[in-house]
Amino acid sequence: MARRRYQEPVPKKHGKHWTIVVMEDYLQDGQPKRRQKRIRLAPLETKWRTVLRLRDEKIKPLNQGMLAWGSATDFNTFVQQTYIPSEMPLLAKTTQQRYRGVLEKYLLPRFGKCILRDLTPSALQQYFSVGMAATNPTLRWESKDKIRDVLASVLKRAWRKYGLLERNPMEAIELPPDKIGRRINMPYLTPEQFDLLVNAMPEPYATMVYVAIYTGLRISELVALRWQDVGADSIAVEQRFCRGDWSRPKSRASNAAIAVDRHVVERIHRLKSLTVAVRAGRGAVRHYRVVKPDGPHPELVFQSVRDGKPMRDNNVLTRFLKPVARKLGLDFANWRCLRTSRATWMVEAGANPKDVQGQMRHADVLTTLRFYAMQVPESQRRAMDVTSKMAAGRIANAREVLRADAGDGYVN
């Protein structure tokens, strides 16, 4: 993009009007371009002095730098022509689906016709403080936070990557406080509930649940697990697969090896000898090997029963995990619940928080303690008992010392 120049075009006759030709900046396929644009000023019968005044008014914003190149692009054009085709493919597929939903339902209807330079911090803060509640009164705080994240992502790229804005106007935007206090209390399975669940599920899905809860692997990492990643007493997380999308682990901390019990490794290798029966209609039953060495993906530990392809987490969840969990009264059970249960069990067993963080592969131990390691009533009661005994013992010792110092005059 060439440097912006001072413009002072001479008005010329064009048809029945005075017009000027200026250079206009715009985006095409995410790249800045420049083209000529003809602007109509006034009818031919207009006095020349008035025509010049109108000319000056039209080009003043350009010459004063009030219109940075591309800043006159509207929000919808940038999203449809640049952000969705060029930036969204860089995100995980599940994230892309959430972002598209937020853009289509909330952001494009509200900001689609707004040009980027009009999305100032004050205008955006007013929307999040007042406008959003007026148009969507039942929207929960978590949904508002997601809308803020998506809008910040779009405007951040418009600013930093494409230079369409002088700054990201979303940097200081705050959400109104939630009117209802919400405890961060993610559901988890007790060991007894887990045992009932895994024994009620068919293979290989029971082993998936077994490995998930004893390793803390995310479901996307579990379905991408390869035989070469399974060691004698460890598992290496090298890749993830989510609904057709292969990618690296979620973060640098996630790309790591974790320790596992030998019984977990033994259960994984047990899959090689299993054969499962699947109904084929009209009373027919077909038998499939759980691990197919001659299948399309023989390197995968967990393969689709029928064709050996990578498993889809949502299919396993809705067809096998959820139905069995409902029958057992565990409606809350899902893949995230299994991961949370692992962290909770470790904390309940007295594991060091840093060891729990390493097992969960979080970059920050606060994430582990705040969102995954749930405080269970049993451990709270034990903690209170230990604390009470400690306090009682120290109080008793202090009283003995005072009694010895004061003699018989000490009053208990």
Each domain of the chain, given as residue ranges in start order, spans 12-63, 75-160, 191-372, 377-412
pLDDT reading at 73 higher than 80: no
Percent of the chain exceeding pLDDT 70 equals 86
Strands 31-43 and 234-236 turn out to be unpaired
What pLDDT is attached to residue 318? 93
| Residue range 87-125, pLDDT digits in tens | 998 887 888 889 999 999 999 999 998 888 889 999 999
Average pLDDT over residues 350-368: 81
The Cα-based distances of 233 to 173, 180, 257, 265 in angstroms read 47, 46, 10, 7
CB 120 within 8 A of CB 73: no
Token couple for 368:
């582990």
Residue 163 backbone class (left: φ over 0; alpha: ψ -120 to 50; beta: rest): left
pLDDT reading at 411 higher than 50: no
pLDDT reading at 140 higher than 70: yes
What pLDDT is attached to residue 68? 46
Alpha carbon 305 to chain centroid distance?
A: 30
Distance CA 107, CA 110 (A): 5
Which of the residue ranges 43-52, 330-339, 361-370 would you say has the lowest mean pLDDT?
Answer: 361-370
What pLDDT is attached to residue 32? 63
| Residue range 122-139, pLDDT digits in tens | 999 999 998 888 888 888
Which of the residue ranges 131-140, 202-211, 221-230 would you say has the lowest mean pLDDT?
Answer: 131-140
- Taking the CB of residue 314, how many other CB atoms lie within 10 A of it? 13
| Nearest in space to 309 (alpha carbons), one of 288, 324, 327, 338 | 288
Handedness of CA 359, 360, 363, 364 (dihedral sign): negative
Strands 17-28 and 12-14 turn out to be antiparallel
Average pLDDT over residues 374-383: 59
What pLDDT is attached to residue 230? 92
CB 403 within 8 A of CB 397: no
Supply φ then ψ for residue 259, to 5 degrees: -80, 140
pLDDT reading at 373 higher than 80: no
**Helical segments of 175-218, H only:** 191-200, 205-215
pLDDT reading at 64 higher than 60: no
What pLDDT is attached to residue 106? 93
If pLDDT is split at 50, 70 and 90, which confidence band does 149 have? very high
Supply angle C-alpha 155, 161, 165, rounded to 5. 50
Radius of gyration for the chain, computed over Cα atoms and rounded to the nearest angstrom: 32
Alpha carbon 268 to chain centroid distance?
A: 29
pLDDT reading at 199 higher than 60: yes
- Taking the CB of residue 152, how many other CB atoms lie within 10 A of it? 16
CB 38 within 8 A of CB 88: no
pLDDT reading at 167 higher than 80: yes
Supply φ then ψ for residue 353, to 5 degrees: -55, -35
pLDDT reading at 271 higher than 50: yes
Token couple for 189:
């399975």
What pLDDT is attached to residue 66? 43
* pTM of the predicted protein model: 0.65
Average pLDDT over residues 64-68: 48
Distance CA 91, CA 128 (A): 25
**Helical segments of 19-139, H only:** 48-63, 75-78, 93-102, 108-111, 121-126, 132-135
What pLDDT is attached to residue 17? 92
Distance CA 73, CA 27 (A): 8
What pLDDT is attached to residue 281? 74
pLDDT reading at 29 higher than 60: no
- At position 144, the amino acid (one-letter code) is K
Average pLDDT over residues 215-228: 92
- Taking the CB of residue 149, how many other CB atoms lie within 10 A of it? 13
Into which CATH architecture does domain 191-372 fall?
A: Orthogonal Bundle (1.10)
| Residue 87, SS3 per DSSP | helix
- 204 upstream amide cis, omega within 30 of 0: yes
pLDDT reading at 2 higher than 80: no
* Higher pLDDT among residues 8 and 379, named by residue: 8
What pLDDT is attached to residue 385? 67
Distance CA 225, CA 237 (A): 7
Supply angle C-alpha 191, 197, 201, rounded to 5. 145
Computed over every residue of the chain, the mean pLDDT equals 84
Average pLDDT over residues 311-319: 91
| Residue range 278-314, pLDDT digits in tens | 887 777 888 899 999 888 899 999 999 988 899 998 9
Distance CA 157, CA 365 (A): 30
CB 23 within 8 A of CB 7: yes
Helix (H) or strand (E) segment spanning residue 145: helix 141-160
| Residue range 391-405, pLDDT digits in tens | 778 778 888 888 887
DSSP lists the bridge partners of residue 240 as: 247
Average pLDDT over residues 211-231: 92
